Structure 1
Amino acid sequence: MSPNLAGALLMMASMACFTFNDAATKSIGTQMPLFQMLFLRGVLSTILILFLARTLGTVHFRIRRDDWLLIALRCVAEVVTAYFFLNALFNMQLANLTAILQALPLTVTLGTALFFGEKVGWRRMLAIVVGFSGVLLIVRPGTDGFNVYALYGLAAVMCVTVRDLATKKLSKDVPSMTVTLCAILSVMIFSGFASLATPWVPVTPQFAGLIALAALFILGGYYFSVATMRTGDVSFIAPFRYTGLIWSLLLGWLIFGDWPDGLTMLGAGIVVAMGLFTLYRERALLKG
C-alpha cells in the first residue's frame, strides 16, 4: 500500500471514529456533568491504549526535549478543544458543528504560512477568505438563527489547528501511540480535577455503554489522526477529512432527527469547495 493510500484510509478512519464518538457523547448530553463524562471516558481510553501498547510495544518515552515541548502544546490544545467542542456539541446540531470544523484545512494552511513561513499565494489566500465567508453562513452572527455555541465551535477549530501544526513538527521517531496516550491522559487528569467542582450523577448501564463506545472511538480517532499527519503527502490526504461531514449528516439524521437548513448546507459547500481548492493548489505547487 502506498503512503498516500494508507494516509487517506487513516484520515477516513479518523473522521469516522471522531464522528461516532461525537454521536455517542451527544447522546449522553447534559444528563451527566461534562467533566465527569470526560474523566470516565478518559479512564476507559487509557486502559484501552495501555493494553494496546503492551500488545504492540509501540509506546516509549525516550523523546527529545523539543518533541516534549510540542507534545505539551498538543496536550494543552486537546484539553481546551475538549471543553469548547463538547459544549458546542451539546447545544448544536451535529452536522452544523461538523460543518464548522471543515474549515480546518484552511486554518492549517494559514497557520503554516504564519508560523512556519510557508509561502501561500494569492489564490490560496483568496480561497481562505471565501472559505471563511462560508463559515459565516453556517454561524450567522447577529441573526435570529445564531447559536452562541457556534463560537465555541470556532474556538475548537483554532485549538485543533494548533494541535495539527504541533503534530506536523514532531520528529518521526516519536511513536504515535505515545502522543495519543499523552493527549488522553491530559484530558482525563484535567477533567478529573474539574469534575470535583460539581456533584457526580449515578452511572446507569445506558451511560456506561455510551461512555465505553465513546472511549473506544475517541481512542481510534486520536491514534488515526496522529498517524495521518505523519503518513504520505498531506495535500493528497487532507481532502479525505471531509468524509466526516458525510458521517455527521447521516448520524445526525438517523439518531437525532436533525438536518441542516439551506444556508448551513450552502456555507458547508463553500467551505468544502475552498478547502479542496486550497489543497489542489498545494499539490500543484509541490509538483510544479
Structure 2
Amino acid sequence: MDQTTNAPLKGAVFMVLAGIAFASANAITWTVTYKMGFKPQSDAFWQYAIATVFSLPLIWRQGAASLKTRHPLLHGLRILLSVLGVQAFTQAFAAGMAPWHVVALVMTSPFFVLIGAAVFLREHVGANRWLAAVIGFSGAMILLRPWEGGLSAASLYPIAAAICWGGASLITKRLTRSEPQAAITLWLLLLLTPINGLFSLQAGFEMPTGAVLGLLILGGAIMFAAQHFLTLAYAAADAGFVQPFDDLKLFSNIAVSWLVLGFAPEGAYWLGVALILAGSLYLLWSERQLQTSPAAG
C-alpha cells in the first residue's frame, strides 16, 4: 500500500479511535455525575484540568509567542461559548440522560452552524444545506418528543450545548482567516480550565476523592487521548475525507452506553438517530459534490 493510500486510511482510523475515546469519557462523566452524585460543574473543571495537565508538553513546545493575536475578544467569546457548551453537556449527563441520547442531540450542531453562517456571516446557504437541516432537526424532534408533555430542562441541555458549540465553530471559522492554528488551540487549552473553574466555584467547589478521583484522572487522560487522535486524524488526511468518520462517534456512544451502562435506543428512537446521522452525512456529501463539480472549479 503506497503512502497516498495509507494516509487517508490512517486519518479514518484515528478519527474512529477519537470517537471511541470520547464515548468512553462520556460514560465516565455519566457515572461520576449521575451515579456518584459529583457536581457536574466540578466534573467539567477537573476533567478538563487533568486533560490540560496532559497537554502541558504541547503548550510548552508551542511557547508564549503562539498566543499573539489581533482578536482577543473573539478568542474570549469563542472560549466562553465552548465552556457554556461543556457545562450544558455535563448537566445533561448529571440529569441521567444516556450518553448516546445526549450525543445524538449534540450532533445537530452543524445545522445550527449553517443557520448561523447565513444569519451572522451572510454566507449563501444552498438548498442542500437547508434540506440537511430539516432532516437533522426532524430526527432531533423524534428524540425530544415535545408532543409527549413538553420539553424538560434535561432534554434541552444537549440542544443548548449544540447551539453554543455551533457558535464557537462559527467564531473558529472566522479566526482561521487570519489566525494561526497554534494560537486558536492554545487559547482554548489555557482558558477553558479557569473559566470552568469559575462555574465550579459558583456551584460549590468539590474536591474529588477515592473512586471519583480515580475516574476523573482516567477521564482526563482519555479526553486528552481523544483530542490527540483528532489532531492526528486531521494531520493525516483531508478534513473532507475524515469528517464522515467523525459521525461514527454516535455509534461508539451507543455501543459504550449499551455495553457499559446498559442503555440503548429503543423503538422510534432509532429513527431519530438515523435521521440525525443521515442529515449530517448528506450535508457532508452534498458539500463535497459542490466543491468537486466543474462549476466550483
| TM-score past 0.5 threshold | yes
Shift of 1:129: 1.4
Asked whether the equivalents of residues 40 and 94 of structure 2 are also in contact (C-alpha less than 8 Å), the reply is no
2:84 is the alignment partner of 1:80: yes
Quote how far apart the aligned CAs of 1:160 are: 1.2
* Aligned residue in 1 for 2:165: 160
Q: CA deviation at 1:4?
A: 5.3
Quote how far apart the aligned CAs of 1:228 are. 6.2
Q: 2:102 aligns with which of 91, 97, 100?
A: 97
Deviations 1:191-212 (A, max 9, x none): 3233334555563331111111
Superposition deviation, residue 226 in structure 1? 6.5
Q: 1:51 aligns with which of 47, 51, 57?
A: 57
- Paired AA for residue 275 in structure 1: S
The match for 2:45 is 39
Q: Matched residues in 2 for 1:37 and 1:167: separation?
A: 25
Distance in 1, Cα, partners of 2:147 & 2:282 = 29
- C-alpha separation in 2, matches of 1:151 and 1:199: 23
Would the aligned equivalents of 1:38 and 1:187 in 2 still touch at CA under 8 Å? no
One-letter amino acid matched to 1:237: V
Q: Could you tell me which residue of structure 2 aligns to residue 149 of structure 1? A: 154
CA separation of 1:251 and 1:88: change in aligned 2, threshold 3 A: same
Take 1:11 and 1:68, find their aligned partners in 2: how far apart are those partners? 30
2:290 aligned with 1:282, yes or no? no
Distance (Å, rounded) in 1 between the aligned partners of 2:70 and 2:264:
45
CA contact (8 A) 1:102 1:268 kept: no
**One of 215, 231, 236 as aligned partner of 2:241:** 236
* Secondary structure class of the residue paired with 1:61: helix
Aligned residue for 1:77, secondary structure, equals: helix
Q: Which amino acid aligns with 2:134?
A: V
**Residue from 27, 30, 34 that aligns with 2:31:** 27
**Shift, 1:93, TM fit:** 1.0
Cα distance change of structure 1 residues 225 and 71 upon mapping to structure 2, 3 Å threshold = farther
1:67 CA displacement: 4.9
2:65 paired residue number: 61
**Is 20-29 or 141-150 further displaced after alignment?**
141-150
Is the CA contact 1:63–1:174 (under 8 Å) kept in the aligned structure 2? no
Q: 1:126 to 1:63 in 2, by over 3 A?
A: same
When normalised by structure 2's length, the TM-score is 0.82
Residues 27-66 of structure 1 show CA distances to partners (whole Å, capped at 9, x for unaligned) of 1014212222233223322221113444xx2344345534
Which residue is 1:273 aligned to? 278
CA distance in 1, matches of 2:272, 2:25: 24
User: Relative to structure 1, is the Cα distance of residues 165 and 230 closer, same or farther in structure 2, using a 3 angstrom cutoff?
Assistant: farther
CA separation in 2, counterparts of 1:39 and 1:181? 17
Gaps of 5+ in 1: none
Give the paired residue count. Answer: 285
**Conserved in 2, the CA contact under 8 Å of 1:44 and 1:215?**
yes
Query: Does residue 261 of structure 2 align to residue 256 of structure 1?
Result: yes
- Secondary structure, aligned partner of 2:252: helix
CA 1:98–1:217 in structure 2 vs 1: closer, same or farther (change >3 Å)? same
Using the TM superposition, give the Cα deviation of residue 222 of structure 1 relative to its aligned residue in structure 2, in angstroms. Answer: 4.2
Q: Please report how far the alpha carbon of residue 5 of structure 1 lies from its aligned counterpart in structure 2 after TM superposition.
A: 5.1
Mark the CA change 1:112 to 1:138 in structure 2 (over 3 Å): closer, same or farther.
same
The share of aligned pairs that are identical, in percent, is 27
Tell me the equivalent position of 1:190.
195
Q: Render the CA deviation track for 1:125-173: whole Å, top value 9, x for unaligned.
A: 1221122111100111141595431211101001111222233333486
Paired with 2:71 and 2:234, the residues of 1 have a C-alpha distance of 15
Contact 2:59–2:186 (8 Å) recurs in 1: no
Counterpart AA for 2:47: R
